[in-house]
Chains A and B, each alone.
Chain A
Amino acid sequence: MSPSLFLSLLVNGVAMGMVYALLGMGLILLVRAVGILNFAQGDLMMFGAYICACLLLDFELPLYLLIPIAFIWFALLGVIFMFTIYWPLRKATYSQATIIATMGASIILQEVAKIIWGSQPRSMPHLVLNSEGDPAVLQIGSASLQWQYLIIIAVGALIIFLITQLFEKLYVGKMMQAACQDSYAANLLGVPSILTICATYIIVAIVCGICGYLVAPVFMVRSTLGTLQLRAFAGVVIGGFGSIKGAVIGCLLVGIVESFSTMAFSGYKDVTVFLLLIIFLVFRPTGLFKGKIGDKA
């Protein structure tokens, strides 16, 4: 394998891994906040991609207007999602009810997207275009790297950094962590759990929406975009299902493995990702990292 091919495969893999990492981080945030695995994570991303496509292609908004308006829609989507899928079922006698509701939400989001925007995939322009209007590339030696992938990596890293800072450093973030770790005690001290849960849903929906915007030029905007979440699930499990750090590293690993396997056996890239997952489940079922809360016997 030539170095230039290696480099471009690596960049593609890290970029896709970054998208999975953002989805995976959102999964962990929701699991911690409300104890539920969200099977509509990828569909929130898909819906976000449609919202962006609509604002960009139909309303032809410039970027400086598109970003704030898209954020408002993402946040709204998060709030609606919380109050329809999670809130009515939060006291259900068995917690699986809410998980199944997220599966239902996944179907609903896909169908609603089809009703509003039709079933034809829409194509979005890359974020950076060259003078002929084609996707711009960065030439390093003989390797040509698509700017779109480099932007995905940069934006993804920035978001992951900002969110970890939010939770580790800010007062609000600590309150959110407290509410996640022991909602009963947090409530008794006066932490308003409805606000912390709502904030978590808003953050997750915004992150998913940004993912949608980033991957739309690569995969086109289509109602099946949500299936990318399966890679995020694999990455989160490989990472250890407890820490954001584990989820991010696990998802990056999935992205890289997937990218290099297209090289060797392109028809089987899904197989390699899940083979990796099975290997981990057999030989290291606890994943790469433990959560920071240990078991004190």
Chain B
Amino acid sequence: MIKISNLHAYYGTIEALKGINMEIRKGQITCLIGSNGAGKSTLLKSISGACNRSGSIMYKDNADISNLSPQKVARLGITHVPEGRHVFPGLTVKENLEVGTINWHGFFGRKPYQKEMEEVFALFPRLKERENQLSWSLSGGEQQMLAIGRALMSHPEVLLLDEPSMGLAPLVIAELFEKIVEINKEWGLTILLVEQNAKLAMKTADYTYVLERGNITVEGPSAEVRSNDMVIKSYLGKFANTK
């Protein structure tokens, strides 16, 4: 679906990604793990066009998207759910979802988006209950659901999720990951998942990449990566094999 080769990203003179090669396969959940500051968010931003990058990013039938602006990338069907949720605080839940439609609706369009909204509400009934509440007052978990729901409104084919579990309680995380699997399996979306919670991420994902200081160091089917010695030592800890 997306094939990245020799991708570099820069913040001023700092090189945050140093030649990344990776592939996100259609219909799969691909996960990206790595410690703080490894460049995970930067990689997502490079795909969605939110930072300076060079190299090649091929999307679908060989269209290079590595020099497109975020708006253009969003219009192609790649939607980035940024780290830290970023809901629009002064808009209600419903209005936040409406903003998600901009990439196919257009400023002055008249296309209805009722159906999309009902589908999102069916996936996250908790949002339906709070549809007229201003989103700054939602709980962290609800805000994350809203951020994902808003992305789903944009008719995406690929979803880039940046640390959806950040700051959430274990029960809420479990519920959220069920939904992510549902989005992948039932809705048929391709997902690139960035996670700190390596164990959970690798359990959920089909394929795993490990990113360290701007380089991919380990990659493979999740089950394989999970038994890699280096990964066990640095990301899973000594309780890796306990359930």
CA distance A233 to B27 in the complex (A): 55
Whether B50 contacts A184 by the Cβ 8 Å rule is: yes
Q: Given A182-B88, A185-B88: A192 and B99 within 8 A (CB)?
A: no
Whether A190 contacts B102 by the Cβ 8 Å rule is yes
A188 within 8 A of B: yes
Q: Which residues of B102-125 are within 8 A (CB) of A?
A: 102-103, 105, 107-109
Judged by a CB distance under 8 angstroms, whether B236 is at the interface is no
Comparing B75-83, B166-174, B199-207, B211-219, the segment that makes contact with chain A is B75-83
With both beta carbons as reference points, the residue of chain B lying nearest to A193 in the complex is identified as B71
Which of B2-10, B90-98, B177-185 lies at the interface?
B90-98
Q: Are A294 and B100 in contact (CB under 8 A)?
A: no
**A187: interface (CB < 8 Å):** yes
Q: B74 on the interface (CB 8 Å rule)?
A: yes
Which chain A positions have C-beta within 8 A of B48? 188
A172 close to B99 (CB less than 8 A): no
A188 touches B90 (CB 8 A): no
Is residue A186 contacting chain B, with contact meaning CB distance below 8 A? yes
Please judge, given known A-B contacts A172-B107, A174-B91, whether A189 and B102 are in contact too, CB under 8 Å.
yes
Contact (Cβ within 8 A) B80 A181: no
Q: B99: shortest Cβ distance to chain A, in Å?
A: 4
Chain A, residues 162-198, CB within 8 Å of chain B (1/0): the string is 0000000001101101100110111111111001000
Q: Which residues in B have their C-beta under 8 angstroms from that of A140? A: none
Q: Is B228 an interface residue (CB 8 A)?
A: no
The residue of chain B having its C-beta at the shortest distance from the C-beta of A243 within the complex is B90
Q: Is A293 an interface residue (CB 8 A)?
A: yes
The answer for the CA separation of A291 and B90 in the assembled complex, in Å, is: 9
CB of A182 within 8 A of CB of B86, answer yes
> B72 — nearest CB in chain A belongs to which residue?
A190
Question: Is there a chain A Cβ closer than 8 Å to B137's Cβ?
Answer: yes
Q: Which of B134, B136, B137 neighbours the largest number of chain A CB atoms within 10 Å of its CB?
A: B136
* CB closest chain-B residue, reference A294: B136
**Do A189 and B150 have beta carbons less than 8 Å apart?**
yes
One of A184, A191, A291, A293 near B99 (C-beta < 8 A): A191
Q: Hey, which chain A residues are within 8 Å of B98, CB to CB?
A: 171, 174
Q: Are A190 and B74 in contact (CB under 8 A)?
A: yes
Is the interface on chain A under 10, 10 to 19, 20 to 34, or 35 or more residues?
20 to 34
B89 touches A188 (CB 8 A): no
Contact A293 B134 (CB under 8 A): yes
Task: Quote the shortest CB–CB distance from B154 to chain A (angstroms).
Answer: 6
B141 within 8 A of A: no
> Is residue B34 contacting chain A, with contact meaning CB distance below 8 A?
no
Across the interface, do A188 and B88 meet the contact criterion of CB distance under 8 Å? no
Residue of B90, B96, B154 touching A190 (CB-CB under 8 A): B154
- B86 and A191 contacting across the interface, CB-CB below 8 Å: no
A296-B50 in contact (CB<8A): no
B95→A174 contact, CB < 8 A: yes
Query: Are A294 and B137 touching (Cβ within 8 A)?
Result: yes
Most buried by A among B71, B74, B75, B89: B71
The answer to whether A177 and B90 have CB atoms under 8 Å apart is yes
Chain A residue numbers with a CB within 8 Å of B99 are 174-175, 178, 186, 189, 191
**Is there a chain A Cβ closer than 8 Å to B70's Cβ?**
yes
Cα A171 to Cα B88 with chains together (Å) = 15
* Cβ contact of B89, chosen from A171, A175, A181, A191, cutoff 8 A: A181
In the complex, A174→B102 CA distance in Å? 10
Q: A177-B90, A184-B82 are in contact. Are A189 and B136 (CB under 8 A)?
A: no
CA distance A195 to B98 in the complex (A): 18
- Contact of A190 with B103 in the complex, beta carbons under 8 Å: yes
Chain B residues with CB under 8 A of A296: 136-137
Residue in chain B with minimal CB distance to A168:
B95
CA distance A188 to B88 in the complex (A): 13
Q: A181-B90, A292-B134 are in contact. Are A189 and B50 (CB under 8 A)?
A: no
Q: Is the CB of A177 within 8 A of B88?
A: yes
Bound-complex Cα distance A189 to B102 (A): 7
Within 8 Å CB of A182, what residues of B? 86-89
Q: Can you name 17 A-B pairs with beta carbons within 8 Å? A: A171-B107, A172-B107, A174-B95, A174-B98, A177-B91, A177-B95, A178-B88, A178-B91, A186-B99, A189-B74, A189-B99, A189-B102, A189-B151, A191-B71, A195-B107, A292-B90, A293-B136
Chain B residues with CB under 8 Å of chain A are 48, 50, 70-71, 74-75, 79-80, 82, 86-91, 95-96, 98-100, 102-103, 105, 107-109, 134, 136-137, 150-151, 154
Q: List the interface of chain A (C-beta within 8 A of B).
A: 171-172, 174-175, 177-178, 181-182, 184-192, 195, 291-294, 296
Extra 19 A-B pairs, beta carbons < 8 Å, given A178-B88, A189-B99: A171-B107, A174-B91, A175-B102, A175-B107, A177-B95, A178-B96, A181-B90, A182-B86, A182-B88, A182-B89, A185-B86, A186-B99, A188-B86, A189-B102, A189-B103, A189-B150, A190-B71, A292-B90, A293-B134
